[in-house]
Amino acid sequence: KQEVTQIPAALSVPEGENLVLNCSFTDSAIYNLQWFRQDPGKGLTSLLLIQSSQREQTSGRLNASLDKSSGRSTLYIAASQPGDSATYLCAVRPGSGGGADGLTFGKGTHLIIQP
Amino acid sequence: DAGVIQSPRHEVTEMGQEVTLRCKPISGHDYLFWYRQTMMRGLELLIYFNNNVPIDDSGMPEDRFSAKMPNASFSTLKIQPSEPRDSAVYFCASSRRGGGDTQYFGPGTRLTVL
């Protein structure tokens, strides 16, 4: 059974710092990996999706990398801002059939950017 | 597009009552997913549909839970009878294709069972 772990569970940094959020998964047979952002009381917003054949994806100040063989992904946030404060979730989609289209989520990293 | 729409946003009910959660996916999306989020277990897939047909319901916790998708624009998740341990936030998501496309999430329904 696929398990997704996110480290750290919580992080508080001053504004302007660059930071890295980590995600690891136990089964490397994935179809893709997705990073989401969740604000308190809100739904999930997709940030980046990396297909299994890709190594990284970038969107603005965000960069996500994927090392499928080692079961790891990182989300890099450059020049952090107070508006980046949220919970960041990593999710993988299995690469084979039998419920393959449902995502398996980590429990998230709760990020606070101090002004 | 209005995005994925869920109703109600909040539901408070008493143990033993029937609860029905509703979802309208994004128009043109073939896949619909129901997830549940709790502090203890995080986000878990309950069931998903492809073209209105349930594909995998292995995540549905018990027979008290049922889900239907009578047409491409509407799905329900029903709990009967409800129990306090069902208290959670229930999310609906949709995507254009199953694996390669982004899943778009609704705002969720926060269910409290007293």
Q: What is the pLDDT of residues B51-66, one digit of tens each?
A: 999 998 989 988 999 9
Q: How many CB atoms lie within 10 A of CB A23?
A: 26
Q: Is the pLDDT of residue B98 over 70?
A: no
Q: Phi and psi dihedrals of A94, rounded to 5? A: -60, 160
Which residues of chain A fall below pLDDT 70?
Answer: 96-100
> Closest Cα of chain A to B80: distance in Å?
24
Q: How far is B9 from chain A (nearest CA, A)?
A: 10
Alpha-carbon distance A53 to A73, whole Å?
13
- Per-residue pLDDT tens digits for A16-27: 999 999 999 999
The verdict on a CB contact (< 8 Å) between A105 and B106 is: no
